[in-house]
Amino acid sequence: MGRIIVAGSINMDVVARVKAHPQLGETVFGTDLQFIPGGKGSNQAIAASRLTDGVLLAGMLGVDAFGDTLMTFLQGENLDLRHVGRVDTAPTGTALIAVSDASENTIIVVPGSNAHLQPADVSKIPIDPDDVVVSVFEIPQETIRALFARAHDVGAKTVLNPAPANPFIPSLLALTDYLIVNETELAFFADGASVTDNLADIKVNARNLRSSESQTIIVTLGDKGAVGFEGDAMIHVAGHTVNAVDTTGAGDCFVGALSVALSEGRNLKAALEFANSAAALSVQKLGASTSMPYRID
């Protein structure tokens, strides 16, 4: 079994709970405020590290109070942090998150130091053929492309969660073995198609997005589960009925858990079921990285 290598963002999540999200121009009172370690890269790495050993996180923090707090937090997790750096030219990445009583969230991400993770910073990460290399669009795409190219050179699997959705730079999509998107991101990459949870429409959009027949597209559907497209097969796993408290980190939990399942050699259906169950557990707690379940759960 190989390692999980995650190159991605590390943020401080500033989370405000509100009864309902404000309309444009409206001010509302919050009912709670918390500072919670987050960032899609950090979340995905922690999700994986609570399910397996040997997870490596590569990222960039600022030289500031948030950076110090996040490094201390990460040191308490089961992570290899030798490729987490610090820069004094940008603040630590920050996400401003509002969570309503209906457990719906809106997020504004200020990349800060995450934008300073460069190809040179990931050039020395050791990659073996059995490893699973994971990344996300909260760091520069050029850095992801450089890392994925090295992964492909040795035959390692690559997993990309292209969020926030932005156009792909040349050759990055082709270097991606497993592309994981939600319904909104799929619509963006399908040239502005309507957001839908209709499986027939999702199938068309996913197949149009696929860069090769060997590429696997996975679409997360929230409480409706997830669907994967591998070769000619479409595999749908249903969602779990749970009492959701906060869905902020559910997608990241799914990515981390799926990567673990792939590293263990599970087939796509089993990997989807494992990731879906982990994500369902995560939404029952407040916070992103702090809500990631352990295997014992």
pLDDT single digits (tens) 62-109: 999 999 999 999 999 999 999 999 999 999 999 898 989 987 888 898
Q: Please write the tens of the pLDDT for every residue from 126-150.
A: 999 999 999 999 999 999 999 999 9
Residue 20's φ and ψ, nearest 5 degrees, are -150, 150
Catalytic residue among 32, 130, 252, 297: 252
Give the pLDDT score at 254. Answer: 96
* Amino acid of residue 295: R
Q: Is 252 a catalytic residue?
A: yes
d(CA 38, CA 113) in angstroms, rounded, equals 14
Helix axis angle, 250-263 to 268-282, nearest 10°: 150
Whether the pLDDT of residue 119 is over 70: the answer is yes
Q: At residue 193, does pLDDT exceed 70? A: no
Share of the chain above pLDDT 70, in %: 99
Q: Look-up: residue for tokens 């994971």?
A: 134
Going by pLDDT thresholds of 50, 70 and 90, the confidence category of residue 192 is: low
Topology of the domain covering 4-10+40-90+115-291: UDP-N-acetylmuramoyl-L-alanine:D-glutamate ligase (3.40.1190)
Q: Which pLDDT value is given to residue 154?
A: 98
Dihedral over alpha carbons 94, 61, 116, 279 (to 10 degrees): -60
Rounded distance, CA 244 to CA 74, Å? 26
Residue pair 8/180 in contact (Cβ under 8 Å)? The answer is no
31, with CB counted inside 10 A (0-12, 13-18, 19+), is exposed
Q: Note the pLDDT tens digit of each residue in 6-45.
A: 999 999 989 999 999 999 999 999 999 999 899 999 999 9
Measured torsion, CA atoms of residues 227, 264, 9, 73, in degrees rounded to the nearest 10: 130
Distance CA 250, CA 272 (A): 14
